[in-house]
Every structure is written in structure tokens, then in C-alpha cells.
Amino acid sequence: MSEDQLYEGIITDIIYQNEETGFMIANLDTIVEYICIKGTMPFIKHGDKLRVSGTIEVHPIYGEQLTVRYMEHVKPKEKEELLTYLSSGVIKGIGEATAQLLIEAFGEKVLDVIHETPDKLLGISGIGPKKLEQIVESYKEQYELRDFIMYFQQLNITVHMAMKIYRTLGLEAIEKVEKNPYILANEISGIGFKFADQIAMKMGIETASPFRITSGILYLLNKEAGNGNSFILKSQLMQLGERELSVKGELIEALIAEMAVTGHVQVERYSEVELAIYLPSLYYAEQQVAVKLIKLMMSGVSTNEMYIKEFLEVYQNERGILLGENQRLAVEKAMTEGVFVITGGPGTGKTTILNALIHAFERQDKKVLLAAPTGRASKRMTEATQREAKTIHRLLEFQGDMEFQRNEQNPLEADVIIIDEISMVDILLMHRLLEAISTGSQLILVGDADQLPSVGPGAVLKDILESKIMAYVRLNEIYRQSETSLIAYNAHQINQGNAPTLNKKDKDFFFISKYKADEILSEIKMLVTKRLPNYYGINSLEDLQVLSPMKGTGVGVDALNSMLQEVLNPPNETKTEKKMGYKLFRIGDKVMQIRNNYNIDWSNRFGEEGKGVFNGDIGFITAIDEAYREVTVLFDQEKEVVYDYASLDELTLAYAVTVHKSQGSEFKVVVMPISYGPPMLMSRNILYTAITRARELVVLVGDKKYLNRMIGQTQEENRLSGLKERLIHFHGIWDELQNL
């Protein structure tokens, strides 16, 4: 084998570069000659000075190439070299003008200043605290992170994923992974237990190691939480463990008992023969939600019945409306109960009740706060009530890392708190919300119990209603646009298992029969690009949303997004693109955040700043900056978020989204394919949820056979949740104490 040869020079041309793997082919100018080099060299840019060693190989087309085995980044030392280096854009936040100012101020010591005393840069014109942070982070990438990246590449982890590890765990990640490789499965999205397990095996951890089994149990519990379950039955956990960990059940059983003793899991009796196994955070959240709801319920206020009756008469006369019997009952009960739930489908008058309640409370000089789980839902609430509504995270003054300014020590200052779209709220967020509500405040929860449950764990609305502890009203009569709209009518028909009314002239609910996947896609393409914009004057990007029950079939969101991106945002020379794995992002693309990111920064045009972008948020790509390796997204036309390339796996195209991801959103027009899919996704409540997302028009495209199958399929997602039982239990204890 030939000896390694050593070269030093400056990168003049990058022929090929894969940012995800770090592999590149480039030309190196050694002053004496140009050398073509290839290999895994992350974060290399035009103008970098490198010292490389490797073997020369002859490529049949490209000729001599040095296959790099070792690479070292050489810091430039001379002023001219430093100016060229800094002007190249290799460090984010430093352009040509800033580079010149830095050289003038610090000369040949400029890199030492950036590394050791970066605060000195604040004296340079144009560099503020935010830009300084960007410069320091980018400098770290150039130098400190190289060894970090190389370490993880030896474990078959891509540069892209290694950067995610760095963002989450910091430079201490190497030490943490060597102590516990399974931390990667628990902390890093995209690295599953099996991959972490392979790394652990390389490190010599035995299959039956208690350490491995404990990590596996926590992984399985987190996986179940991701599926919406608050706990898992012990028998199921043992079966999953035997299959995924390849160890005997008795080993798993012994470790569950040990983890219960050490507090890594919570164990509770589920039945005479079965135990429920919880993650501690979910167990605690369930307990606290049940206790706080009972406390709030028992501290209901007494409002004069005569005042309520007089108010309703005056309010109806002033508005020229007549409330239905259930609507009047809802207003009366909501004004006297500590906790009250209003549930009903579209068009049943929930907004009418809310507006009446807000006016009634305000006439009593009570402070009312309004909130909903998502930005779109809160904006819709604001429009419907003409009062400010916030997201729950903003209401609680979210700080990042699931920390909130509003909590038990600093509760919300309000007499009444009204939460819309409560079906979307999971047990963890419900816990944080209730933690910030003082006993004595009234809580009114509004939502549709027939929609899909929250994306996160738990079944909050369903459990509250089924416990029959809290007062509630279920609205069934349709009021909204009952004479002209079929959307609300058909939603209720479908919910009752009846066939919808279709294709009536001048109505708003249509079915187009197509049978093959390519025919359905072609029809949706025509609807989105021509027929609906031309006939109804809608903007296909802003007003219309394509929904599908599934992701990967011929009419799933993957196929739909691929087709719709090409017709709604076609490529041209003015639109920068970025390919990440199988995803292609382009300026102008409609995108969705697919997991909660509690720590990402956002800002808006009013100068406000905050943290957090959440699962289901939809926005548009406004900029892709190759030099800074950043993508900018504008969410809800107001919240601007900058993603580095390592975070792009949190985004997906959103020309089409799954019905599950559409919860809490409302669109003028919904278009949905109706075709064969997995039985669990061919259900009535998925169809119902999709239809109720539309405000003005629904168009279904597909086979009526599958439409009828969905209407007939009543199988619901039965989540494992203990909130209902806890509410009943704690209510019983309260009653006993009152009777002593």
C-alpha cells in the first residue's frame, strides 16, 4: 500500500459537496500545483486553508485524486489571508465590509479575539449581541466541531445528524454518549433505539445488560407516549421488550420493578391481574390535572340567577338573535360553574355562546382571558369574538424548554379563562395550563369531542366528559348557515353514520368520482391549479388545503406534495433550493413544523421576540441562505423563524398534510382524496375531522365505495389514559371529606 502524501493549500473550487454526509470533492491550491481531493470533510468552504494527507488514486474520468485520510484546518495568519478568509462568508455574520473592519481593529490577532474575547467585537460597527452570538457559534463550527463531527462519523452518524446532537447535547455529547449511547435514542429525534443499540454493541455493551434493558424500557415508554398513550400495560411492555430487545421476559420484569423503586417509572394497579407503567412526567401530569380540575370545580362562583335571565333577555334584544334552549343552558351553567365544558360540531353555535358569555362576564367587570392551542385557532378565536386570544404557550409566557413564566407561584390574573379547541390539548400542556390558574377562577373549555384526539399523550376532553364529574353541554342542533351550507349538515350526517348530501347546485360540498390513484392526483391537480381558483377566485396557497388520511400511498401526502410543489411553486432561476435527504425545499414553499421545538427563536415585524414553534404550525419559506446555511420561514404571516440546515428535518412540505396534522386549523377550502388505505385510517372520525376543517367549500375526489367504508367504520383510537379514573377517584375523596 502506498504511503500517505501530505499537502497544504487553499480550497479554490468545490466540485461536489454533500452537506448531510460531509463528503466532498474539491480542488486544493498548494501554490506549487492544484490537487483534486475527495473524502469526508465537513464544514469546508471556498477559501479554507487545509493540511491533508492521503493516497493518490487515478479516476478513469477525473484523473488523479487524493483520497483524504486525515484533514486539519489551518488557521490563516497573515492579514491578507485573514481578510480573504473572513470575506469568504465562512463565518456567519461576517461579510466583506465587516471583515475589513475586523482586520483594521485587531490585525493578525482577529481569530484569537473571536475565540478568546469575543465581546470585543461589540465595538465594531454593525455587530450587536445577536450577530455576535451568530459569529461565535459559526466559529465553533469551523474549529471546535470538526473533531466532534469526525467522532460521530466513525459511528456511522451523518454530519447532519451530528449537528443535531451538538445542538441538543453540546460539546459534552461525546462524553455523554460514551457513558450512555442510548441517550441518542431518548434525546435526538431521528435516531431510534435500534441505531443507538448498534452503537452500544460496538462499545461492548452486552445484550442482557441491565443498563441496556433499562434504556430500552424508557425508549418503549417514550414511543408509546408518541403514539398518544399516557401509559402502557406491563404485559404489553414485556411483549414489546422481548421482541425489540431480544431478551427474556423475566429480565424485563425484574428491571421494571427496579426502575419503579428508583423512580425511573411509576407503576399503578390497572386491574386485578394487570399493572400500568408510566413515565414519571406523565403520571405526575395526570395526577395534578385531576386534582386541579376538582379544586376548580368545587370553587364555582354564585351568580344571581335573576341577573343571568335579565342579561340574556337584554343581550338577545340588542343582537336581534334568539338563543336555542341548549345555548341558553350553556350560558347559565358556564356563569355558575367552576369548570364548564361546551362541546359540539361545526355550526352548533359554540361561538354564539362564547360571545354571550364574554359580554356577560364583562358586564360584571370580570377579567376574561381567551386562548387556543395553535396560532391559527387563536387567530380564529380573535376574529370570532373581537377580543384578543393567544396561544396557550403565549398565554403562559413560554420561556423555552417547557418552562413558563406563568405557574403556581405566578398565576394568571383573570376571573375567567376560556380555552378553545380543547380536544387538541394533551395531558402535559393541560397540566401546565392548570398549574397557572388560581383556585377561584372559572375555567370554560370549548371543543369538539368527535374530532381526533391530541397529537401528544392523553385524551383530556374525552376523559373529562366520560368521567361525568364536570358540568357540560353537548350541542347537536345546527345553527350556522343551516339554509345555505352543507358542510355543517354533512359533518353531522357522517357523525351519525349517514350518507352525506353531495353535488347540489350552488352548494358547498362536492364529490368527484375517480378510481385510480393517478386519476385522483390528476383531478386534484386540475382543481387546485385551475378549476377552484378560476370559479371561486381563491388563492390555492393561502385559502386551500389538501388533506389526506395517510402519508405513503399513491394518494398520500408524500405523492400529493411532490405533485403540488411542482405546479404551485415550480422551480426557476430566481428561487434558491435546498435538498435535504429526500426532501427538496424551495423559496415560496408551503411548509409545516412536524414536532414541537420549544427553544427555537422567532421574531415579528413589531419587534417582538419569543421562543417555540409547534407541531402543526404552517408557514412559507421566504429565504434560503446558502452562505449562512439557513432557511427562513414565516408562520401565520407574522412569526419569522430561522432554521439552520441541521434543523430542516423538523419541516415538511405542507401543500398536502395528514388529517391528524390539520387539527385546530381551519381553511376556506378543503380538498381530500378518498381511496383505499390502512383500515385504522379509514375511519369516520378522520373523515369528520377533515370535513370540519373547511369553512366555505369541501371537495372529495375518489371512490364512493371507500367514502361509505369510512362512514361505516366507527373504530376510535382508544388511548391508554388514566385521567377519567383519577377524576372519579379524587371526586369521591372530596365528597367523603365534605361528609365528615
Where does residue 137 rank: exposed (0-12), middle (13-18), buried (19+ CB within 10 A)?
A: middle
Q: Are 218 and 232 in contact (CB under 8 A)?
A: no
527 vs 531: CA distance, rounded Å: 5
The 10s digit of each residue's pLDDT in 58-89 is: 878 778 899 888 777 787 788 888 887 788 77
The 10s digit of each residue's pLDDT in 524-537 is: 999 999 999 999 99
* C-alpha 669, offset from chain centre: 23
Distances (CA, A) of 82 to 101, 134, 621: 12, 19, 34
- Say yes or no to pLDDT of 145 above 80: no
Q: Are 286 and 726 in contact (CB under 8 A)?
A: yes
pLDDT band of 141, cuts 50, 70, 90: confident
The 10s digit of each residue's pLDDT in 12-56 is: 888 888 776 778 899 999 988 899 999 888 778 777 888 888 888
SS3 assignment, position 39: strand
Q: What is the DSSP string of 228-285?
A: T-SEEEHHHHHHHHHHHH---HHHHHHHHHHHHHHTSSEEEE-SSS-EEEE-HHHHHH
Among 73-82, 485-494, 598-607, 671-680, where is mean pLDDT lowest? Answer: 73-82
pLDDT band of 1, cuts 50, 70, 90: very low
Which triple of cell numbers denotes residue 740?
365528615
Where does residue 272 rank: exposed (0-12), middle (13-18), buried (19+ CB within 10 A)?
A: exposed
Determine the average pLDDT of the residues in 479-508.
84
Percent of the chain with pLDDT over 90: 51
Burial 47-85 (b: 16+ CB within 10 A, else e): bbbbebbbeeeeeeeeeebbebeebeeeebeeeebbbbb
Determine the average pLDDT of the residues in 199-222.
89
190 vs 192: CA distance, rounded Å: 6
What count of other Cβ atoms lies within 10 Å of the Cβ of residue 38? 19
208 vs 656: CA distance, rounded Å: 44
- Say yes or no to pLDDT of 483 above 60: no
488 vs 475: CA distance, rounded Å: 13
pLDDT at 348: 86
Among 141-155, 259-273, 538-552, where is mean pLDDT lowest? Answer: 141-155
pLDDT band of 389, cuts 50, 70, 90: very high
**pTM > 0.85: yes or no:** no
16 vs 72: CA distance, rounded Å: 19
378 vs 381: CA distance, rounded Å: 5
State the alpha helices, DSSP H only, in 599-703.
684-691
pLDDT band of 740, cuts 50, 70, 90: low
Determine the average pLDDT of the residues in 685-712.
93
Q: Which H or E run contains 362?
A: helix 350-363
Q: 98-102, 148-152, 334-338, 368-372 — which one is most confidently predicted on average?
A: 368-372
- Between residues 290 and 5, the one the model is more confident about: 290
- Say yes or no to pLDDT of 217 above 70: yes
Q: Are 20 and 581 in contact (CB under 8 A)?
A: yes
Summary mean pLDDT of the chain: 89
pLDDT at 191: 82
303 vs 364: CA distance, rounded Å: 10
